[in-house]
Structures are given as C-alpha cells and as structure tokens.
C-alpha cells in the first residue's frame, strides 16, 4: 500500500469526524461539558466508532464522548484523548481516602489483570500486563476529584500504553474521564489535566454537596474501590484494557483487514455518517 493512499484514507477518516466546542449538554443529563481550550469534542456515536471500529476495543455504550487535542487526530501516530462517561453508582463516601495502601492495591490489581487475561484471550484480545503506577493515586478532598495513572503493556508492544484516570464525584455517581495514550505522552497529558478536570460542571442538585443522606443512595464502594475499579465492572474492563492502535499498524499489519471487514459489515441502527473505505482493502476485494 503506498504512503499516499494511506495518507488519503487517514485524511478522509479524520475529515468525516465532527468536532464540537463550547458548552456541551452531556447525554447523562446531570452535567455540562465546557470543552477546554485546545480540545475538540466527539459525540457518543463518533466516540464509539473511534474506540471500537478504528482502535479495536470492545464496544461500550456508557461512553458519552471524547476530548481530542487539536492538531492530534484520532489516527495520528502521536494521538491521545480523554474518554468521558458517567457511572451512576450513588454517593461515594471519601472518609477512607487517606488510609489506603496503594502499593498493596497495586499488587492486587496486577494479579487481577493476569487473571482477566484468560477471558480476554477467549474473546480474541491479546493479553495485558499492568506494569505499575505511571502516577500514584491522589484524591483532592476539596474539589472531590480522584486521579491516578496506569502503565500497561499490550501483548509484545515495545511502547507501553498510558491510561490516566480521573474521577469527578457527584451526588449520585462519578464522572469517569480517562486519558488513553502511550507513555511518551505522559507529560503532555499531565500538562492538560487541570483544563480537563475543570471542564465538567454538575447541574444544580447533582453536585457532591447536594447529597441528602435521608433520601440518596450511598455507593457500595469508597475511594479505594474506585481505584480498584471493581464497582465499574463493564466500564472498568473497557478502560483498563483500551488498545491504542497506531495508524501504521492499521495500514500494514495483518489484523488491519479483519478490523476493516468488521467496520464494513457492521450495521448500525442509527443513521450513520459516511465512513471512508481503506484503499488497500478496497483494492484486495476486487482481486
């Protein structure tokens, strides 16, 4: 496949995406997103197209959208982004935040990741190694925001994947924001954390301070449970095991054809925007 046709295909994929700015009404109904300067927002349908069809992740209907840095398209070799979802788990009590042994928790998570690889392999996904904390867990009791970062290795990849996790606590659950990148992008992600953290604005009546103990449900897990991810069974699987496909891999590796056949054969009940056809796959289909 020639470089020119690859670049043309990538440009068509990127050109088919519609980025939004300004204040976005999130589908969760309890908050708005003030798109940070230097980012563009992709809505729920486009987010799943990027994460599942282009990057090869399991589908996840809880994803509300993506924040993508300007100038770093989703097919760029150095692209990275934040996923956004809301987990309605109830009011998360934070009294345990200062008592958690995160090194002990790290060892537990490594073991759980190894055990989960059995299911991943059965589903056709490669194994994952939880290498360690890229940034140790930290909870800001004033802003009610928890964040930490995982360093992951997928299969035999030489470049490790970075998942930077943000949790914004509210009255009835938490917003889950995760930066999906490779380890070389760690500093760039960290430089943008403050912008992203302050982008979520709970509506009146949905803030953490609006909790009414006599009527509201208390979550089964506290701060330690959020880091462990056990309460986020479905979303946690997606977040922990996000695969960061690079454009070169999509263009030339053997799995590229299989991924694109899945894209072409997928029937969406919703009205679809046009998805560009990979020129290499198109040429092979005519042979």
- Per-residue pLDDT tens listing for the chain (287 residues): 445 677 787 888 889 999 999 999 999 999 999 999 999 999 999 998 988 888 777 778 889 999 999 988 888 877 889 999 999 999 999 998 888 899 999 999 899 888 888 887 888 877 888 999 999 999 999 999 999 999 988 888 788 888 899 999 999 999 999 888 888 899 999 999 999 999 999 999 999 999 999 999 999 888 988 888 743 333 333 333 343 333 333 333 323 333 333 333 433 433 344 444 444 333 333 34
What's the full length of the chain, in residues?
287
Instruction: Give the span between the Cα atoms of 30 and 17, in whole angstroms.
Output: 26
Cβ neighbours around 221 below 10 Å, total: 18
Q: What is the dihedral sign for C-alpha 179, 181, 187, 191?
A: negative
Are 108 and 227 a contacting pair, CB within 8 Å? Answer: no
How far from 11 is each of 8, 15, 82, CA to CA, in Å? 5, 6, 21
Q: What global pTM score does this model have? A: 0.77
* Model pLDDT, residue 281: 34
Q: Phi/psi of residue 285, each to 5°?
A: -70, -20
* Model pLDDT, residue 181: 85
Joined tokens for residue 177: 């924001």
* Model pLDDT, residue 163: 85
Joined tokens for residue 253: 């590796």
Taking the alpha carbons at both ends of the chain, their separation in whole angstroms is: 15
Cβ neighbours around 252 below 10 Å, total: 11
Q: Which domains does the chain have, with CATH numbers?
A: 23-251 (3.40.1000)
């Amino acid at each position: 496949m020639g470089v020119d046709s690859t670049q043309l295909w990538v440009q068509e994929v990127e050109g088919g995406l519609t980025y939004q700015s300004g204040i976005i009404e999130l589908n969760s109904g309890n908050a708005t997103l003030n798109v940070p300067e230097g980012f563009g927002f992709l809505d729920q349908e486009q987010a799943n197209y990027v994460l599942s069809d282009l990057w090869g992740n399991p589908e996840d209907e809880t994803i509300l959208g993506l924040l993508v840095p300007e100038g770093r398209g989703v097919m760029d070799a150095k692209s990275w982004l934040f996923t956004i979802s809301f987990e309605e788990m109830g009011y998360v009590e934070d009294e345990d935040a200062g008592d958690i042994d995160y090194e002990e928790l790290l060892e537990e998570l490594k073991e759980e990741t190894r055990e989960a690889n059995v299911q991943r392999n059965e589903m056709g996904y490669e194994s994952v190694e939880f290498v360690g904390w890229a940034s140790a867990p930290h909870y800001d009791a004033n802003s009610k925001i928890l964040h930490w970062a995982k360093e992951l290795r997928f299969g035999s990849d030489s470049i490790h994947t970075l998942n930077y996790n943000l949790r914004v606590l509210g009255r009835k659950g938490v917003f889950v924001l995760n930066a999906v990148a490779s380890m070389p992008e760690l500093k760039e992600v960290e430089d943008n954390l403050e912008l992203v953290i302050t982008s979520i604005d709970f509506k009146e009546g949905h803030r953490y301070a609006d909790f009414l103990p006599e009527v509201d449900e208390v979550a089964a897990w506290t701060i330690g449970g959020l880091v462990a991810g056990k309460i986020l069974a479905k979303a946690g699987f997606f977040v922990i095991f996000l695969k960061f496909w690079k454009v070169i891999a999509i263009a030339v590796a053997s799995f590229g054809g299989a991924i694109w056949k899945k894209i072409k054969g997928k029937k969406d009940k919703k009205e679809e925007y046009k998805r560009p056809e990979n020129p290499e796959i198109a040429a092979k289909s005519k042979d």
